[in-house]
Chains A and B, each alone.
Chain A
């Protein structure tokens, strides 16, 4: 039965229920090497990307590199209809 959930600033999420799968025994499967992700750094180029967007009543697509020559503020936020 659905249970009422308190509304917070983060989007509510679910997940898989049940016991965790037992780890594969044996040495044959080497642990997957953790991929090292290049973190962004001040003084370094921002990674370029394209993204769909909503702008002045229209759906469009933007690419960060189209804004070369201008100052850009890129803001991430947890979700639409959140509070702050």
Chain B
């Protein structure tokens, strides 16, 4: 979603983005936020520049915002990190909140089960190195 019109989105897809993706088309709707009205509500509209800055929101099936990240324009996002977060929130949701993903978690890595037994014992279950590997 940007403040560009859907017509400009079409030009960008047809003339540039379609050449970047193997499917030849962008697989998601490209939304237009004329005047930045939606961006304002989500706190990402920069009134001085007249644009929406780089904001990314992960919204769960109940419509609840689980995570967001906002960057100024010159730095791009890390898509792999977004996918990791989605996998983590999906795991927590499927466990109905009985499991949690510690720092550095990736799919397949150890999860924690919060509860009385874990208080003061995280150091036995999780090592600092796990945040980085």
Q: Given A46-B63, A52-B32: A74 and B11 within 8 A (CB)? A: no
| B2:A69 contact, CB within 8 angstroms | no
Residues of B contacting A70 in the complex (Cβ-Cβ under 8 angstroms): 61
Judge whether A76 and B44 touch: CB under 8 Å.
yes
Do B10 and A46 have beta carbons less than 8 Å apart? no
Scan B17-49; emit 1 where CB is below 8 A from any A CB, else 0. 000000001101111111001111111100011
A83 to chain B, nearest CB (A): 8
- A81 and B16 contact, CB distance less than 8 A: yes
A76 & B4 in contact (Cβ 8 Å cutoff): no
Q: How far is the CA of A53 from the CA of B38 in the complex (A)?
A: 13
Interface size on A, residues (CB 8 A): 47
Determine, out of B64-72, B97-105, B109-117, the stretch whose residues face the partner at the interface. B64-72
Interface-side segment among A16-24, A26-34, A58-66: A58-66
Q: A52-B31, A79-B4 are in contact. Are A40 and B86 (CB under 8 A)?
A: no
Q: Is the CB of B30 within 8 A of A54?
A: yes
- Bound-state Cα–Cα, A61 to B60, Å: 21
Instruction: Report if B53 contacts A (CB, 8 A).
Output: yes
Q: Say yes or no: B10 contacts A82, CB within 8 Å.
A: no
**Which residues of chain A are within 8 angstroms of B128 by Cβ–Cβ distance?**
none
Task: Report whether A77 and B2 are in contact in the complex, using a CB–CB cutoff of 8 Å.
Answer: yes
Which residue of B28, B44, B51, B65 contacts A10 across the interface (Cβ within 8 Å)? Answer: B51
Q: Closest CB-CB distance, B100 to chain A, in whole Å?
A: 15
Q: Are A53 and B63 also in contact (CB < 8 A) when A9-B74, A74-B1, A76-B1 are?
A: no
A80 to B5, CA, bound (A): 9
B9 interface residue per 8 A CB criterion: yes
Least CB distance, B120 to chain A, in whole angstroms: 26
Given contacts A42-B66, A49-B38, contact A55 B61 (CB under 8 A): no
**Which chain B residues border A57 with CB–CB below 8 Å?**
25
A55 to B78, CA, bound (A): 24
* Residues on the B chain within 8 Å of A3, using CB: none
